[in-house]
Structure 1
Amino acid sequence: MPDLTQVQLLTELEPAAEAELNRHLSLAREWHPHDYVPWDEGRNFAAMGGDDWDPEQSRLNPVAKAAMTLNLLTEDNLPSYHREITEYFSPDGAWGTWVGRWTAEENRHAIVMRDYLVVTRGVDPVALENDRMVNMTKGAHSDDLSGLLRGVAYVAVQELGTRVSHRNTGKACNDPIADKMLQRIAADENLHMIFYRNICAAALDLAPDQAMEAITSVVTNFDMPGIGMPNFRKMSLLMAKHGIYDARQHLDDVLWPIMRKWKIFERTDFTGRGEAARDELAAFLEKSEVDAKRFEEQRDRFLAREAARKELASA
Structure 2
Amino acid sequence: MARQLTQLELLRELESTAEANVNRHLKVARDWNPHDYIPWDEGEDYAALGGTDYDPEQSQLNEVAKAAMITNLLTEDNLPSYHRVIADNFSMDSAWGHWVGRWTAEENRHGIVMRDYLVVTRGVDPVALEEARMIHMTNGYDPLLVAQDHAAELEEHDIDEVGLLHSVAYVTFQELATRVSHRNTGKACNDPIADKMLQRIAADENLHMIFYRNICGAGMDLSPDQTLRAVTDIVTNFQMPGAGMPNFRRHGVLMAKHGIYDLRQHLDEVVMPVLRKWDIFNRTDFGPEGEKTREELATFLEQLDKDATRFEEMRDRALAREAAKAAKQAS
TM class by shorter chain equals: over 0.9
1:73-103 Cα shifts (integer Å, max 9, x gaps): 0000000111111111111111111011111
Q: Which residue type is aligned with residue 165 of structure 2?
A: L
SS class of match (1:256): helix
The equivalent position to 2:248 in structure 1, one of 208, 223, 232, is 232
| In the alignment, structure 1 residue 38 sits paired with structure 2 residue 54 | no
Q: Cα distance, 1:141 vs. partner? A: 2.2
Using structure 1 for the length normalisation, give the TM-score: 0.99
Secondary structure at the aligned position of 2:242 is classed as helix
Per the normalisation by structure 2, the TM-score is 0.94
Determine whether 1:149 maps to 2:165.
Answer: yes
1:144 Cα shift?
Answer: 3.4
User: After superposition, where does 1:189-268 map in structure 2 within 5 Å?
Assistant: 189-268=205-284
2:158 maps to none
1:2-49, Cα deviation, whole Å (9 max, x unpaired): 211000000000000001101011011010000000000000011111
1:49 is aligned to 50
Distance in 1, matches of 2:102 and 2:46, equals 34
Partner Cα separation in structure 2 for residue 156 and residue 5 of structure 1: 21
Cα shift at 1:312: 1.7
- Are 2:135 and 1:119 equivalent residues in the alignment? no
> Which residue pairs with 1:82 in the alignment?
83
Distance 1:254 1:288 in 2: 13
Aligned residue in 2 for 1:187: 203
Aligned-pair distance for 1:308? Answer: 1.4
SS of aligned partner of 2:282: coil
- The alignment partner of 1:14 has SS state of helix
Supply the distance in 1 between the matched residues of 2:119 and 2:191 (Cα, whole angstroms): 15
CA distances 1:106-148 after superposition (whole Å, capped 9, x unpaired): 1100000000000000000000000000010111123234311
Where does residue 128 of structure 1 map in the other structure? 129
Deviations 1:236-269 (A, max 9, x none): 1100000000000000000110011000001000
Partner of 1:104: 105
What is the alpha-carbon distance in structure 2 between the residues aligned to residue 156 and residue 254 of structure 1?
9
CA root-mean-square deviation: 0.7
Q: Distance in 1 between matches of 2:31 and 2:101?
A: 16
* Deviation digits for residues 136-161 of structure 1 (CA, Å, limit 9, x no counterpart): 01111232343110110000000000
Matched, 1:275 2:276: no
The partner residue of 1:160 within 176, 195, 201 is 176
Give the aligned partner of residue 308 of structure 1: 324
How far did residue 313 of structure 1 move?
A: 1.8
1:293-304 equivalences under 5 Å are 293-304=309-320
Alpha-carbon distance in structure 2 between the residues aligned to 1:31 and 1:221: 35
Aligned residue in 2 for 1:59: 60
The residue type paired with residue 35 of structure 1 is D
Which residue identity does 1:36 align to in structure 2? Y
Superposition deviation, residue 301 in structure 1: 0.7
Residues 177-231 of structure 1 deviation map (CA, whole Å, 9 limit, x = unaligned): 0000000000000000000000000000000000011111100000001101111
Secondary structure of the corresponding residue to residue 259 of structure 2: coil
Identity %: 70
1:93 aligns with 2:125: no
User: Partner amino acid for 2:190?
Assistant: N
Does residue 192 of structure 2 align to residue 176 of structure 1?
Answer: yes
> How far, CA to CA, are the matches of 1:119 and 1:266 in structure 2?
51
Structure 2 CA distance for aligned equivalents of residues 11 and 39 of structure 1: 48
- Which residue is 1:6 aligned to? 7
Aligned pair partner of 2:308 in 267, 273, 292: 292
Tell me the distance in 1 between the aligned counterparts of 2:223 and 2:261.
32
Question: What are the superposed Cα offsets for residues 55-83 of structure 1, whole Å, 9 maximum, x if unpaired?
Answer: 11000000000000000000000001111
Residue type of the partner of 1:163? R
For residues 107 and 302 of structure 2, what CA distance do their matches in structure 1 show? 33
